[in-house]
Structure 1
Amino acid sequence: MLEQHYKWHSPHLGHEFEMLVYGEEGYPLILFPTSMGRHYEHRDRGVIQSLEWFINNQLIKVYCPDTVDVHSWYNIHISPAERALHHIRYDRMLRHEVLEKVTEETGVQRIAVAGCSFGGYHAANFAFRYPERVSYLFSLSGVFDVKSRLNGHYDDNVYYNNPVDFMPANPHEALWRMGIILGVAEKDITRSQNETMSGILHNKGIMHWLDVRPNKTHDWPTWLEMLPYYLSLIK
Structure 2
Amino acid sequence: MHEEYRRFYSHHLGRDIEMLVYGNWGYPILLFPTTMGRYYEYKNFNFIESVRWFVETGKVKLYCVDSIDRDSWYAKHLHPSIRIHNHTVYDRFLCEELVPSIQHECHVGKIGVGGCSFGGFQALNFAFRHPDQVAYLFSMGAAFDIRSFMNGYYDENVYFNNPPDYIPNAHNDHFYQMKIVLGTSAYDFCRPENHRMSDILNQKGIPHWLDVRPWGEHDWPVWREMFPHYLSLIE
* 1:183-194 equivalence runs, <5 A: 183-194=183-194
Q: Give, in whole Å, the separation in 1 of the partners of 2:10 and 2:134.
A: 22
Q: Give, in whole Å, the separation in 2 of the partners of 1:181 and 1:99.
A: 20
Structure 2 SS opposite 1:47: coil
Partner of 2:214: 214
| Counterpart code for 1:70 | R
Unaligned runs of 5+ in 1: none
Partner of 1:44: 44
Partner of 1:6: 6
Q: Extract structure 1 runs of 4+ deviating beyond 2 A.
A: none
Q: Give, in whole Å, the separation in 1 of the partners of 2:175 and 2:211.
A: 19
Partner of 2:147: 147
CA shift for structure 1 position 21: 0.5
Unaligned runs of 5+ in 2: none
Alignment partner of 1:138 is 2:138: yes
Q: Deviations over 1:84-139 (max 9, x none)?
A: 00100100001112102201210111111000000001100010011111111000
CA shift for structure 1 position 50: 0.7
Q: Which moved more, 1:18-27 or 1:8-17?
A: 8-17
Please give the TM-score of this superposition, normalised by the length of structure 1: 0.98
% of aligned pairs identical? 49
Structure 2 SS opposite 1:46: coil
Q: Give, in whole Å, the separation in 2 of the partners of 1:9 and 1:103.
A: 17
Q: Deviations over 1:7-34 (max 9, x none)?
A: 1332111222111100011000001110
Q: Give, in whole Å, the separation in 2 of the partners of 1:98 and 1:228.
A: 24
* 1:114-193 equivalence runs, <5 A: 114-193=114-193
Structure 2 SS opposite 1:99: helix
Count of matched residue pairs: 235
| Counterpart code for 1:154 | Y
Alignment partner of 1:106 is 2:82: no
Structure 2 SS opposite 1:216: coil
CA shift for structure 1 position 140: 0.2
* 1:16-35 equivalence runs, <5 A: 16-35=16-35
Partner of 2:203: 203
Q: Give, in whole Å, the separation in 1 of the partners of 2:46 and 2:124.
A: 22
* Cα RMSD (Å): 0.8
